[in-house]
């Protein structure tokens, strides 16, 4: 794994989501341990326990893949955009909750969710976009940060990042230009080829559709 990491690649986004990763990992371990103990006491619940353990380990595996690409590992095959977004949402909700920011995800099961994208570009840009927006808002600036998926041009995926201040709270001053510039620098670092557009607290990132490499002949 170390050989495939890009030396010197900043991992600011990885540090931002690290609390969420540790929280999720703890939940996975708790689920596996809890159902393992239940099985030892009551073997009749084998099917239910296996299902719960399987779901927990799948969440853990998906989170581990996201962390690996955020830390700079290259060469991961294309992944479904909806699955990547759902995993990132689990990792992001903890640092956002610590900043008293609400969070919701839309479109993770719609038509765009099934489109394959490059996980390195997708995870790095989405996590960095959320980090920039969250860190720009003071703790008392309550509101909801929203991620949404839609189908883009030529069968690609568009990720919409938006912030809506809470009722009675004045919007934070627009930061469109500086936000777009910061993300453009992050895009270069992870080899992203697409379109980033920022308008105040609204951002759109376009990701081209990727095709998974065929399995080698046995």
Domains located in the chain, CATH noted: 2-207 (3.30.565.10)
State the pLDDT confidence band at 86, using cuts at 50, 70 and 90.
very high
* pLDDT of amino acid 10: 44
Which tens digits make up the pLDDT trace of 11-45? 688 899 999 999 888 888 888 777 777 666 666 66
142: left (phi over 0), alpha (psi -120 to 50) or beta: beta
Strand locations in 36-93 (E) = 79-80
97 vs 181, which has greater pLDDT?
97
State the pLDDT confidence band at 5, using cuts at 50, 70 and 90.
very low
* pLDDT of amino acid 157: 92
190 vs 204, which has greater pLDDT?
204
State the pLDDT confidence band at 218, using cuts at 50, 70 and 90.
very low
Q: Which residue has 């719609």 as its token pair?
A: 110
Q: How far apart are CA 123 and CA 117, in angstroms?
A: 10
For residue 42, give every residue at least 6 positions away whose Cβ sits within 8 Å of its Cβ, in sequence order, or none. none
Model-wide pTM > 0.85: no
Q: Which residue has 């990720």 as its token pair?
A: 159
């Amino acid at each position: 794994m170390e050989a495939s990491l890009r030396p010197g690649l900043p991992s600011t986004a990885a540090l931002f989501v690290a609390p969420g990763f540790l929280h999720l990992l703890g939940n996975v371990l708790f689920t596996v341990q809890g159902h393992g103990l239940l099985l030892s006491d009551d073997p009749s619940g084998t099917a239910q326990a296996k299902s719960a353990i399987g779901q927990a380990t799948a969440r853990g595996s998906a989170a581990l893949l996201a962390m690996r690409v955020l830390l700079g590992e290259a060469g991961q095959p294309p992944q479904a955009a909806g699955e990547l977004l759902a995993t990132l949402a689990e990792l992001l909700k903890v640092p956002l909750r610590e900043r008293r920011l609400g969070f919701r995800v839309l479109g993770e099961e719609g038509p765009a969710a099934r489109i394959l994208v490059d996980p390195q570009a997708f995870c790095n840009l989405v996590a960095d976009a959320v980090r920039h927006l969250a860190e720009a808002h003071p703790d008392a600036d309550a509101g909801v940060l929203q991620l949404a998926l839609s189908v883009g041009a030529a069968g690609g995926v568009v990720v919409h990042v938006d912030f809506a201040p809470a009722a009675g709270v004045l919007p934070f001053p627009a930061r469109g230009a500086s936000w777009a510039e910061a993300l453009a620098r992050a895009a270069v670092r992870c080899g992203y080829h697409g379109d980033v557009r920022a308008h105040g607290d609204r951002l759109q990132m376009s990701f081209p559709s990727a095709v998974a490499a065929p399995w080698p002949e046995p």
